[in-house]
């Protein structure tokens, strides 16, 4: 059984855990060749996993890959856990060029390769483990595998206003009306179609799900005959372009501590469109550069003194997850949060939520950031199917990527 030990930092679709004398930092997974990209294997693409390591010595670690159901639970059936082709052994570490107590080694690997293959279409996770004690997981991450498009997905994305609701301000009522249509081939069956799952940018933990239901006015499906289906989502808020913290300038940003915004503090952007971003990604200084250092970065947000909601700092550095450890401290209207970051450029934003029983709920992604039809977002659309193959699994049989907003 795999046991998580201590949650530290998350990068992209990656959870970082530490144990003993090792600490993984800047763990990332992305499509090989573009470090800002979404982690998906499609056609002839590959994925890259890389991270820094704080340790006195290089460990004897392995990377274990597991096929998962739609809820990210690994299948325990031996048919899906081929030990011969699901493990990368003898990881090779490079020594970082800078002298620091923050990190000492770097790993970078590309998959699939001669040791690892991904034979099933769906969701996958990787685990960085000690081969002598699999109970310790030092890092983990998520990615998608598309073998082929068995079903062609047709999409329509329209800018509309939310039906049946009066938004205040009016811009909060701006939504995208998404329609996904397809026709099943004779070899596939309507009753085994599960749902449509949509990931906006890098928000893997917050999927937009369209179930096979008729009763929801915002998300539902229609069937024409026996093989033609359409799924609708009429409540997708575009949000705003992400904020960015750019730590590349060696003259302005230096360890051990600096501010995320060099010339002041952040404020609400409810009525102000943002600039260009990485659609949720990040770009780090090359690990071979002697200035690719780590520093404590303080994020500061100024809000009215009577602002009552909790505010969370989310971004490419913590997998866009609204978690208790991402809560900002408030003092007289100034919200602050300090995190350790490697020199680079990171997309981020501020999210409001209510803390209940020490856990956030009712997350609001637009309250402090705004909502605008012109926002450029990537939407990754997956069609899941209850496949009877082998012992049965959640299979992705259709995939398409679309982009919204000004082009």
Domain positions in the chain = 3-146, 154-239+373-403, 243-364
Query: Model's pTM, two decimal places?
Result: 0.93
pLDDT (0 to 100) of residue 166: 82
* Mean pLDDT value of segment 130-135: 83
Q: What is the 3-state secondary structure (H, E, C) of the chain?
A: CCEECCEEEECCCEEEECECCEEEEEEEEEECCCCCCCCEEECCCCEEEEEEEECCCCCCCEEEEEEECCCCCECCCHHHCCCCCEEECCCCCEECCCCCCCCCEEEEEEECCCCECCCCCEEEEEEEEECCEEEEEEEEEEEEEECCCCCCCEEEEEEEECCCCCCCCHHHHEEEEEEEEEECCCCCCHHHEEEEEEEECCCCCCCEEEECCCCCCCEEEEEECCCEEEEEEEEECCCCCCEEEECCCCCCCCCCEEECCCCCCECCCCCCCCCCCCCCCEEECCCCCCCCCEEEEEEEEECCCCCCCEEEEEECCECCCCCHHHECEEECCEEEEEEEEECEEEEEEEEEEEEECCEEEEEECCCCCCCCCCCCCEEEEEEEEEECCCCCEEEEEEEEEEECCCC
* Mean pLDDT value of segment 377-401: 97
Percent of the chain predicted with pLDDT > 70: 95
Asked if domains 3-146 and 243-364 share a fold, the reply is yes
pLDDT (0 to 100) of residue 2: 45
pLDDT (0 to 100) of residue 248: 96
Domain 154-239+373-403 has CATH 1.20.950: no
pLDDT (0 to 100) of residue 21: 81
Tens digits of per-residue pLDDT, 333-384? 999 999 999 999 999 999 999 988 889 999 999 999 999 999 999 999 999 9
CATH class of 3-146: mainly beta
Look over the chain and give the mean of its residue pLDDT values, rounded to a whole number. Answer: 92
Question: Can you say whether residue 297 is alpha, beta or left, with left for phi > 0 and alpha for psi between -120 and 50 degrees?
Answer: beta
CA nearest to 187, candidates 392, 383, 393, 388: 388
Tens digits of per-residue pLDDT, 243-268? 999 999 999 999 999 999 988 999 99
Instruction: Domain 243-364: give its CATH code.
Output: 2.60.40
**Separation CA 86–CA 113 (nearest Å):** 10
pLDDT (0 to 100) of residue 20: 54
Percent of the chain predicted with pLDDT > 90: 82
């Amino acid at each position: 059984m795999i046991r998580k030990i201590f949650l530290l930092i998350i990068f992209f679709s990656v959870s970082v855990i530490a144990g003993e004398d090792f600490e993984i930092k800047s763990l990332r997974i992305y499509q090989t060749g573009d470090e800002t990209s979404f982690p998906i294997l499609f056609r002839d693409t590959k994925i890259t996993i890389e991270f820094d390591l704080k340790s006195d010595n290089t460990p004897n670690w392995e990377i274990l890959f597991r096929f998962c159901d739609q809820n990210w639970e690994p299948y325990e059936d031996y048919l899906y856990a081929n030990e011969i082709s699901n493990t990368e052994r003898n990881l090779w570490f490079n020594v970082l060029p800078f002298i620091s107590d923050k990190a000492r080694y770097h790993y970078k690997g590309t998959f699939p390769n001669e040791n690892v293959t991904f034979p099933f279409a769906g969701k996958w996770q990787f685990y960085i483990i000690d081969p002598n004690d699999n109970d310790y997981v030092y890092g983990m991450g998520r990615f998608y595998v598309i073998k082929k498009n068995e079903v062609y997905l047709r999409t329509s994305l329209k800018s509309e206003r939310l039906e049946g609701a009066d938004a205040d301000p009016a811009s909060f009522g701006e939504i995208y009306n998404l329609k996904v249509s397809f026709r099943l081939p004779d070899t596939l069956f309507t009753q085994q179609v599960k749902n449509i799952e949509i990931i906006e940018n890098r928000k893997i933990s917050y999927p937009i799900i369209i179930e096979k239901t008729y009763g929801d006015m915002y998300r539902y499906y229609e069937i024409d005959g026996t093989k033609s289906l359409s799924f609708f989502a009429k409540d997708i808020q575009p949000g705003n372009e992400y904020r960015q913290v750019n730590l590349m300038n060696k003259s302005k940003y230096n360890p051990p501590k600096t501010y995320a915004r060099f010339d002041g503090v952040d404020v609400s952007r409810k009525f102000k469109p943002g600039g260009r971003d990485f659609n949720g990604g990040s770009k780090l200084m090359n690990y071979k550069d002697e200035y690719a250092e780590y520093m404590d970065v303080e994020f500061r947000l100024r809000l009215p003194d009577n602002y009552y909601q909790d505010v969370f700092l989310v971004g490419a550095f913590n997998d866009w997850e609204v978690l208790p450890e991402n809560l900002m401290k408030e003092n007289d209207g100034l919200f602050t949060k300090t995190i350790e970051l490697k020199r680079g450029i990171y997309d981020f934003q501020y999210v409001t939520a209510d803390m209940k029983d020490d856990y956030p709920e009712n997350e609001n992604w637009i309250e402090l950031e705004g909502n605008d039809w012109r926002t450029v977002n990537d939407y990754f659309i997956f069609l899941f199917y209850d496949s009877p193959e082998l012992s049965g699994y959640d299979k992705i049989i259709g995939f398409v990527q679309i982009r919204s907003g000004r082009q």
